[in-house]
Chains A and B, each alone.
Chain A
């Protein structure tokens, strides 16, 4: 009987251990902030490596990291650091600590309508605005008009960044309208003269970027200020993998971090990490 049991056990083992690998395709999912950048990387990479297909889809940082846990993506794009609980789930499921790689830098930018005469705000003023304590532009040197708040959905890494860094972990004002992507925020602010929104610097087209005041100086989210750390709302943009990069995923990441890949970062409007 012992032999029968052991052979059944071995047979089961052999039956359930088919190695599955989808050669030639690397899937990348997650942060909407990073989609335009990673798509550009993918296009350039696939031109050089026609045998490899890079599939890039958005959905938000949380969505990408969930896909990494579920095994439905090879690389998760995230505009925030992975949470402890997400990391623990990945470790429990795949028995390896996930790898996180900063691939670009972003200055989280607050946008206002081009007609708004406010040019710069302190982080404290931004906090008061987004907590709903400051409700009129007049209080911060603007017109006597109500402030219309635009925010991102809570699956967004940018949402988490602003919540943690600007709001100190507190909740956004209930009046803040959540929009599904940074492009939607930019679009809304460009049409609403009393609007304010936030997102990646690469999207800041058709609206005015606010400088952030520190003491007597105000800093725009420029490459220089983000690199030097003078701009206080800069962050890393990450690739997360279940384990160390290997094969085609590694080749793609190596390309993203190469001089050519980092040049694309600048072209898109973000800031290189190297």
Chain B
């Protein structure tokens, strides 16, 4: 009991001290013109001393000269106003930051490829960083800035650098973009590598759209379920080894798509030229570089385990494969893929993909001894299982079996590939 009394006494005295030492006294008293509706009850405060009930002996006493309740409420009002001003200022700062979005992802890998043949040639077992992307996007009502770099052991390269104008009055349905960007062609090319189930794009897309990007200008438009993207590009792509176009030829690339929620797709076209010289040419010559494509994606909800999607794409074209500067001038080629993905619950999925690429239409498959010819068609069947650990981490294991078309005594190379990938994104 004694300790309780001591505690009460201490609390009482400290409360009185706190009142006496608050800086409220320094605050100005309100002027008559200031709105006071919110503190009307305080008008009763000055009457308190006139109360007929005498203060109890141990009740806290208001020291002489300390601020009245009215004054304290006024001071609190000023404090709230100051906080509101600070809050407004902070909100203004944050509203600018909200327009900026920093995102990115890293794909770390372990890969094992079989020896190519019984001599032990080829094959590998290695760790690597396939992609290390950092992307900044700043979006306003009328414009968007986007810069994406890729930092990997081979170096840092520019992937995207786009400046976009959203045409006023179109609610961002129509836009014009200039810079370095993805070609508006097909489905898998423009799709983000972080969303894909398989570690790499299908063989036909890798050949027809190497690095998926180029420098140029693009117009994007949407009307109800229709999507149109039309662009004019240098045409050589960002993997061509040059940072500037070396000719006056420009390539026209377009994709007209539709999106009906459960089914989406489109058709693509590409027409342009590539300046080059075949062994039979004396001088450089503009060779046709063209592609046509069709893509379709269907999403189902029939299996009780989770969503199912079926995606396919066909591309045929002439002059392709700028990767490592190895352009196949004036060569007609085609390929396609079919991908089936099955989600299992919220965090898991399995997928199987069959893709095929014929690098030289109409050319008979060849063989050099036991080795298939360089231009033989290749079919690849791949399986992947993936698991999401929360919203930021995805782990996938992929097994791909390429089957090179072979004739006579040639053998399909042992080039099956296992890829274990961990992708972290933010």
Contacts and interface: CB of A to CB of B under 8 A. Distances in A.
Interface of A: 1-2, 5-6, 8-9, 12-13, 16-21, 69-72, 84, 87, 91-97, 154, 164, 169, 171, 177-178, 191, 242-244, 246
Nearest to A66: B391
B387 A16 contact: yes
Given A8-B418, A9-B383, A96-B299, A17 B307 contact: no
Nearest to B305: A19
B345 A20 contact: yes
A9 B342 contact: no
Given A1-B114, A9-B397, A95 B387 contact: no
Interface stretch (B144-152, B273-281, B347-355): B347-355
Interface string B375-418: 00000000101111011000101010000000000000000101
Given A19-B305, A71-B346, 19 more contacts: A5-B112, A5-B416, A8-B418, A9-B418, A13-B385, A16-B386, A16-B387, A16-B397, A17-B348, A71-B388, A84-B222, A94-B343, A94-B346, A95-B299, A95-B308, A96-B299, A96-B300, A97-B301, A246-B304
A6 B141 CA distance: 52
Nearest to B385: A13
B145 to A, nearest CB: 18
Contacts of A171: 141
B284 interface: no
Nearest to B310: A95
A96 B308 CA distance: 6
A29 to B, nearest CB: 14
Given A17-B344, A17-B387, A243-B307, A92 B195 contact: yes
B309 interface: yes
A35 to B, nearest CB: 23
A244 B301 contact: yes
B420 interface: yes
Interface residues of B, number: 45
Contacts, number: 96
Given A2-B416, A21-B345, A178-B91, A95 B307 contact: yes
Contacts of A91: 299, 309
Contacts of A19: 305, 344-345, 348
A37 to B, nearest CB: 26
Nearest to A96: B307
Nearest to B351: A95
B262 interface: yes
- Pick from B91, B342, B345, B350 the residue with the most CB of A within 10 Å: B345
Given A16-B386, A95-B308, A70 B391 contact: yes
B306 interface: yes
A20 B347 contact: yes
B395 A95 contact: no
A95 B306 contact: yes
Nearest to A13: B385
A210 B340 CA distance: 54
Contacts of A244: 301
A66 B281 CA distance: 58
Interface in B240-275: 259, 261-262
